[in-house]
């Protein structure tokens, strides 16, 4: 990366400003620069360069003083929220936000765990990379049962954009011809192990409505030539993903969208630049730029452009919009509807079941596969829901017990040691990912008095699971346990972890606080991710989502971003924005 792409102060009026450099921001930068727009990518965190700054990569457990654990004092002081994320450890902690620097408030009885990645590349360095298309069942859901507002788009509107982003990013998976989970443009699927194949056979024999298939993931199982040209290589199954991957084997801003954007010579990057607000000109009814606070010096500066893309993460983007107040928009830019900040959703994780599989003692696997299996949604699709709205899919997988489980057994000495040397019994698990309804009362607002160290008003987050959410989690656990019993597993145990320690936010699929919709009176964005109120302002991260479906949302952010960028450039050329 050349030094001069990084800027701090400039009088240049760019064609486009993209706020945030994660999964959505990277795509916005790539698409806008490739269409010839001089684009400034604004990132609140520090630069992270591919390969060079993956400081935890390749570290073995024994090369870390606490074997991947982080000191309690450091966690207590700086990472008290981030520590709850499964991927937080000694080799990845520098890619998470520092909770001390990024405070937010919640009511005492409504905890929300906000997981953040504040650096160039954002959470694209941290995501779990499962990549699924949404179907018309998902885009129709609000219209079907009347919760939330109807999506302004349908599957056919986004289909070609899924094609486009999948080919570039590289999504592995199996072609299944399922209406509920449309196929992507696939690289070859990762392999199932023999127990997973057996579980698939047993389940599909009993239920024609339930399929068990390999998960779909943004990993190069077998790279195509254009991936090799990006400098990306085949996944080595190291399980180093969240430490950063020098092979570029998984999709991240650094491995995939940023190199393309840089190759155009149209990209500039301003890091350590915390966007305070969007600058609005009431005379033209246009956003003209962004006000920025320097992360290190606390100085303020401004950047200007003809079109603004907000891709600062669902809650980050909403915080900026709420803070962009003017006479025209006293409650936040583009908020004539009053919907801004409301309808916060996450996915319902933390419920499922597992059981022991007898036999298969000679079978094992090699490598740390970056994806499990899934069972696409069946509950409100081809099976009836008992007592709740919407549905869920299962994540699944079979593994043999390792020292982590066997080491809890009784006994001492050579026999104890010998028992752990051999892999233990096989276990198969089903774990749900449920759709959370869009509810007005799940909302974020600016705290009236509390500010962070840069003077930004803190977000106040009020979000909790509803009765519908809890009923669904009960069904996720019960249905999983019944299914495992029915296919002959032993010691079946179900669990709803969400009853103990899984709060909204921890699934890291927060969505919906600047939703799309047909009606400017009830939604913030139109069908092109364009603010109803301010035509040159676009929001393409998770804030735009109108419902949450049950699938992981990132692939949809990519497709919506590419589509919105194409539309914005057309409108710009037509002189309409």
Partner 1 sequence: MNLPALPSGSDGVSRRAALKQLALACGLALSASSLSALAASFSAPTDFSRSKKTLLTAKQLELVRALGDIIIPATDTPGAVAAGVHDFINHYTAYCASSAEQQQLLATLARIESAAHDEFKTAFTALTNAQQLQLLNAMEQAQNGFSQADRKGLKQLKALVVFGYYTSEPGATQELAYLAIPGGYKGNFKLKEIGRAWALNF
Task: Output 244 or 527, the one with its CB closest to partner 1.
Answer: 244
Contact 517, 510 (CB under 8 A): no
Helix or strand holding residue 542 (H, E): none
At its nearest, how many Å lie between partner 1 and the CB of residue 75?
Answer: 9
Question: Quick count: other Cβ atoms within 10 Å of Cβ 427?
Answer: 20
At its nearest, how many Å lie between partner 1 and the CB of residue 25?
Answer: 24
Q: Which of 146, 330, 413, 448 binds partner 1 (CB under 8 A)?
A: 413
Binding mask 196-225 for partner 1 (x = CB under 8 A): x------------------------x----
Q: Which of 36, 416, 453, 486 binds partner 1 (CB under 8 A)?
A: 416
Structure tokens at 134: 């949404």
At its nearest, how many Å lie between partner 1 and the CB of residue 56?
Answer: 7
Q: How far is CA 239 from the centre of its chain?
A: 18
By CB under 8 A, residue 174 contacts partner 1: no
Beta-strand relationship, 351-357 and 213-214: unpaired
Task: Output 92 or 336, the one with its CB closest to partner 1.
Answer: 92
Q: Which of 422, 451, 482, 488 binds partner 1 (CB under 8 A)?
A: 422
At its nearest, how many Å lie between partner 1 and the CB of residue 300?
Answer: 29
By CB under 8 A, residue 490 contacts partner 1: no
Q: Which residue, among 376, 345, 385, has the nearest Cα to 475 in the 3D structure?
A: 385
Task: Output 58 or 282, the one with its CB closest to partner 1.
Answer: 58
Q: Which of 296, 327, 384, 412 binds partner 1 (CB under 8 A)?
A: 412
Tokens 């020098």 -> residue: 246
**Interatomic CA distance for residues 73 and 328, integer angstroms:** 47
Structure tokens at 387: 């007592």
Residue numbers 333-362 binding partner 1 by CB under 8 A: 361-362
By CB under 8 A, residue 12 contacts partner 1: no
At its nearest, how many Å lie between partner 1 and the CB of residue 64?
Answer: 7
Binding mask 367-406 for partner 1 (x = CB under 8 A): xxxx-----------------------------x-xxx--
**Cβ contacts of residue 450 below 8 Å, gap of 6+?**
103, 105, 457, 458, 460
Task: Output 180 or 258, the one with its CB closest to partner 1.
Answer: 258
Task: Output 69 or 297, the one with its CB closest to partner 1.
Answer: 69
DSSP codes, 368-409: --S--EEE---TTTTS--SSSSS-EEEEEEEEE--HHHHTTS
Q: Which residues pair with 275 in a beta bridge?
A: 292
Beta-strand relationship, 286-294 and 300-310: antiparallel
By CB under 8 A, residue 192 contacts partner 1: yes
At its nearest, how many Å lie between partner 1 and the CB of residue 181?
Answer: 22
**Interatomic CA distance for residues 305 and 276, integer angstroms:** 16
Q: Which of 80, 86, 364, 440 binds partner 1 (CB under 8 A)?
A: 364
**Interatomic CA distance for residues 568 and 436, integer angstroms:** 31
**Interatomic CA distance for residues 308 and 321, integer angstroms:** 12
**Interatomic CA distance for residues 26 and 520, integer angstroms:** 28
178-189 burial by CB neighbour count: b if 16+ within 10 A, else e? eebbbbbbbbeb
Taken in order 511, 514, 519, 522, the sign of the CA dihedral is: positive
By CB under 8 A, residue 188 contacts partner 1: no
Using CB under 8 A, which of the segments 257-265, 326-334, 366-374, 466-474 binds partner 1? 366-374
**Cβ contacts of residue 24 below 8 Å, gap of 6+?**
311, 540, 541, 542, 557, 558, 561
Binding mask 111-140 for partner 1 (x = CB under 8 A): ------------------------------
Task: Output 196 or 533, the one with its CB closest to partner 1.
Answer: 196
Task: Output 114 or 426, the one with its CB closest to partner 1.
Answer: 426
How many chain residues are in contact with partner 1, going by CB under 8 A? 69
Beta-strand relationship, 373-375 and 490-496: unpaired
Using CB under 8 A, which of the segments 250-258, 284-292, 411-419, 529-537 binds partner 1? 411-419
Binding mask 47-76 for partner 1 (x = CB under 8 A): ----xx--xx-xxxxxxxxxxxxxxxx---
Contact 16, 288 (CB under 8 A): no
User: What residues make contact with partner 1 under the rule CB under 8 A?
Assistant: 51-52, 55-56, 58-73, 90-91, 94, 190-194, 196, 221, 231, 233-239, 246-247, 361-370, 400, 402-404, 407-408, 410-414, 416-418, 420-424
């Amino acid at each position: 990366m050349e030094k001069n792409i990084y800027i701090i102060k400039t009088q240049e009026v760019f064609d486009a400003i993209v706020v945030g450099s994660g999964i959505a921001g990277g795509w916005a930068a790539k698409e806008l620069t490739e269409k010839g727009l001089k684009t400034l990518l604004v990132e609140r965190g520090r630069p992270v360069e591919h390969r060079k700054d993956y400081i935890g990569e390749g570290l073995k457990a024994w090369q870390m003083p606490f074997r991947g654990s982080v000191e309690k004092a450091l966690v207590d002081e700086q990472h008290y929220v981030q520590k709850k994320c499964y991927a937080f450890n000694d080799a990845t902690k520098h890619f998470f936000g520092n909770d001390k620097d990024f405070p937010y408030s919640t009511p005492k009885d409504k905890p929300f765990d906000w997981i953040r990645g504040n650096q160039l590349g954002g959470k694209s360095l941290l995501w779990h990379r499962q990549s699924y298309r949404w179907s018309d069942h998902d885009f129709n859901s609000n219209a079907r049962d009347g919760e939330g507002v109807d999506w302004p788009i349908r599957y056919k509107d986004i289909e070609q954009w899924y094609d486009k982003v999948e080919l570039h990013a590289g999504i592995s998976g199996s072609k299944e011809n399922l209406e509920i989970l449309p196929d992507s443009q696939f690289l070859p699927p990762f392999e199932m192990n023999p127990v997973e194949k057996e579980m698939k056979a047993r389940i599909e024999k009993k239920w024609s409505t339930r399929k068990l298939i390999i998960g779909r993931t943004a990993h190069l199982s077998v790279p195509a030539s254009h991936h090799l040209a990006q400098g990306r290589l085949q996944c080595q199954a190291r399980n180093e993903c969240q430490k950063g991957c020098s092979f570029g084997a998984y999709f991240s801003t650094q491995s995939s969208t940023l190199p393309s954007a840089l190759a155009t010579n149209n990209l500039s990057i301003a890091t350590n630049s915390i966007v305070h607000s969007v600058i609005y000109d009431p005379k033209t009814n246009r956003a003209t730029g962004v006000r920025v606070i320097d992360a290190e010096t606390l100085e303020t500066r401004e950047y200007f452009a003809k079109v603004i893309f907000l891709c600062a993460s669902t809650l980050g983007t909403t915080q900026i919009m709420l803070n962009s107040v003017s006479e025209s928009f006293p409650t936040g830019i583009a908020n004539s509807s009053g919907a801004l900040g409301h309808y916060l959703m996450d996915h319902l994780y933390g419920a499922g079941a597992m059981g022991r599989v007898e036999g298969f003692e000679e079978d094992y696997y090699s490598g740390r596969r970056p994806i499990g299996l899934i069972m696409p949604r069946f509950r409100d699709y081809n099976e009836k829901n008992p007592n709740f709205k919407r549905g869920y899919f299962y994540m699944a997988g079979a593994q043999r017990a390792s020292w982590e489980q066997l080491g809890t057994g009784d006994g001492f000495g050579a026999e104890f040691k010998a028992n752990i040397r051999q892999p233990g019994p096989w276990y198969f698990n089903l774990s749900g990912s449920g759709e959370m309804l869009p509810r007005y009362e799940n909302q974020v607002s600016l705290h009236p008095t509390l500010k962070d160290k840069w003077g930004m008003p803190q977000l106040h987050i009020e979000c909790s699971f509803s009765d519908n959410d809890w009923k669904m989690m009960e069904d996720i656990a019960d249905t999983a346990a019944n299914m495992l019993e029915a296919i002959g597993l032993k010691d079946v145990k179900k669990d709803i972890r969400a009853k103990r320690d899984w709060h909204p936010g921890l699934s890291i699929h927060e969505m919906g606080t600047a939703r799309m919709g047909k009606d400017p009176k009830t939604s913030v964005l139109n069908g092109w991710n364009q603010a109803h109120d301010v035509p040159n302002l676009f929001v393409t991260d998770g804030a735009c989502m109108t419902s949450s479906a049950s699938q992981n949302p990132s692939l949809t952010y990519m497709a919506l971003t590419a589509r919105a960028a194409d539309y914005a450039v057309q409108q710009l050329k037509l002189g309409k924005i």
